[in-house]
A and B are shown apart, each in its own frame.
Chain A
Amino acid sequence: MATRAIIAGIGESPLGKVPGMTALGIIVDAALNAIEDAGLTVQDIDGIILHPAFHVSPRYHIIVAETLGIYVKTMADTTMMGGASYGVAIERAKQAVESGLCKNVLIVGGEKLATGHVSGSAMMASVGAHNLDYEYPFAATIPAYYGLLAQRYLHDYNADESDLAQIAVATRKHAARNPNATMREPISVDDVLNSPIISSPLHRLDCSLVSDGGAAYVISAAGTSKDPSREVEVLGIGQAQSYYHMGQLAEGKGDHDLVRTVVDVAGKRAFSQAGLTPAEINMANIYDSFTITVIVQLEDLGFCERGTAGKFAAEGNIDPGGKLPVNTHGGLLSNAHPGACGGMLGFTEAVRQLRGEAGLRQVAKHDNALVSSASAVASNFSVSILGAPIQ
């Protein structure tokens, strides 16, 4: 029978402000936790994927493997896709396991955005997604890019800032149920609208946190981990990338432009492989660098009609207990956002939920979960649909 790749183990390091650990220490901690969760040892790992941006070397994946003592790897890769990297990495790892290239692939990331020091310009340069010659001279920051996206969205759909704010409010309700989340105090739409503007129309509470932390997962063949009843299925996975330059993104092509993103392409592939429709998804962890990032993905993935995501959220659909709970850990907006690996926390949370190990915030129906990761002004996407362990 053909080999089927599954998620065998997950791990996280401490999240939030972690001044007592280096980035390498955080990465190693997350990696060892995931390997232990899978019931494996470091010597069982024969593939590694890490996104080296923000780190001291473009070959940081090799440095991490040598720190862990993994001498021979048959795959060592980087998936340099910013926030989408760690979704794309699962697709790579799945292919490696199912083709026989690797037995157990470690996917790991960790960054020190809160207590390290990455200035805005250094971040811009190291992320590499943004145009340094034709955009950065005009004072484009990452929130400004998303501000341009949000303003155009509001115009096209006659929406207003309160529609964006609904996402932050709902996400905070989930974070309140996560004892490890950085921000747990409930907030209202007015709180969001009264928080300072960072880059219009985005307020501070429309923007994700800046955190330290790391996460990891191990992708293995079904039936090979310590406890197969905790192996999470990868039912479907897809990716899609468009452009980085905002003008070219805005000019668009075919059905796509700045506010009608290519996440639908990644989503259609994932839904088709999983044999599921958006209405059949139990919960979704949607990459939430900004509130607008969630809005466009909810619409483009088909969870609600274009222009209605704010209303969809205001009606309670994405709340705890709603039709489609979104970001049950509190997301990048309220839980933690340790840079490019922040999106991994959507996967680790989905795995906990699918195993029924999410404690106070366990969703009632947890047969499947959609996890998206995104980056670079909603231009890189990976969409995964994960399934509960087959008992």
Chain B
Amino acid sequence: MQHITRPLPSITQDNEDFWRSTREHAARLQRCNACEKFWYYPGPVCHNCGARNWTWTLLSGVGTIYSYSVLERAKGNPYEEDVPITIVLVRLAEGPVVMSNLFDYEPGELAIDAEVMIDYEDVNDEVTLIVFRPARR
């Protein structure tokens, strides 16, 4: 996998269950017990209805590309030397849209509505990020 020098997220009481699930390569998001919707990013209340009860629920791992941009210049950022970097917004099958990176794709596979699947990048012992690859049947 392409190396990217990553700024790291802060792990807090609001998101530690999420980051534990990605470390286990089995990503879960909160699903509201009241309205049954998923939301992203993790937080202390349902983003849809305001309920404060949820269940950490395993994701199917599939989604489609909502938009993309290939970053070619990033002067002054920690990943300045790692460009080009393919940034994607992926609409998960569960509903939420997440920002991530797409790896190991052929030119035609970087397209809006193209199907992708979750992969994992272990950045260090604490942080594993959700990344994506094309979903090939």
Instruction: Assess whether A134 is in contact with B9, with CB atoms less than 8 Å apart.
Output: yes
Instruction: Assess whether A246 is in contact with B77, with CB atoms less than 8 Å apart.
Output: no
| Residues 230-274 of A at the B interface (beta carbon under 8 Å) | 245-248, 250-251, 258
- Count how many pairs of residues, one from A and one from B, have CB atoms less than 8 Å apart in the complex: 129
| Residues 79-137 of B at the A interface (beta carbon under 8 Å) | 79-80, 82, 85, 87, 89, 91, 95-101, 112, 123, 127, 129
Other-chain contact of A131, B4, B6, B41, B71 (Cβ < 8 Å): B41
Asked if B57 lies at the interface with its beta carbon under 8 angstroms from chain A, I say no
Asked if A66 lies at the interface with its beta carbon under 8 angstroms from chain B, I say no
Asked if B54 lies at the interface with its beta carbon under 8 angstroms from chain A, I say no
CB neighbours (8 Å) of A135 from chain B are 99
Asked if B47 lies at the interface with its beta carbon under 8 angstroms from chain A, I say yes
Instruction: Assess whether A250 is in contact with B97, with CB atoms less than 8 Å apart.
Output: yes
CB neighbours (8 Å) of A140 from chain B are 87, 99
Instruction: Assess whether A149 is in contact with B67, with CB atoms less than 8 Å apart.
Output: yes
Whole-angstrom CA separation of A201 from B41 in the bound complex: 27
Nearest chain B CB to A77 CB, angstrom units: 28
For B79, give the chain A residue with the smallest CB separation. A139
Instruction: Assess whether A133 is in contact with B15, with CB atoms less than 8 Å apart.
Output: yes
Nearest chain B CB to A269 CB, angstrom units: 27
For A137, give the chain B residue with the smallest CB separation. B6
The size bracket of the interface on B is 35 or more
Nearest chain A CB to B102 CB, angstrom units: 10
Other-chain contact of B76, A123, A132, A150 (Cβ < 8 Å): A123
Asked if A151 lies at the interface with its beta carbon under 8 angstroms from chain B, I say yes
Instruction: Assess whether B7 is in contact with A147, with CB atoms less than 8 Å apart.
Output: no
Asked if A120 lies at the interface with its beta carbon under 8 angstroms from chain B, I say yes
| Residues 165-180 of A at the B interface (beta carbon under 8 Å) | none
Instruction: Assess whether A120 is in contact with B75, with CB atoms less than 8 Å apart.
Output: yes
Instruction: Assess whether B89 is in contact with A132, with CB atoms less than 8 Å apart.
Output: no
Other-chain contact of B97, A132, A147, A247 (Cβ < 8 Å): A247
Nearest chain B CB to A46 CB, angstrom units: 40
Asked if A138 lies at the interface with its beta carbon under 8 angstroms from chain B, I say yes
Other-chain contact of A151, B69, B78, B82, B97 (Cβ < 8 Å): B69
For B87, give the chain A residue with the smallest CB separation. A144
A137-B7, A247-B89 given; 4 more Cβ-contact pairs under 8 Å: A132-B9, A132-B10, A134-B41, A152-B89
B interface residue numbers (CB < 8 A to A)? 4, 6-10, 15, 40-41, 47, 66-80, 82, 85, 87, 89, 91, 95-101, 112, 123, 127, 129
18 A-B pairs (CB sep. < 8 Å): A120-B76, A121-B76, A132-B10, A134-B9, A136-B7, A138-B85, A138-B129, A139-B6, A139-B101, A141-B71, A147-B87, A196-B72, A196-B73, A247-B99, A248-B40, A248-B47, A250-B97, A251-B97
The 9 closest A-B pairs by CB, nearest first: A147-B69, A120-B76, A247-B97, A119-B76, A133-B9, A120-B77, A152-B67, A200-B70, A134-B41
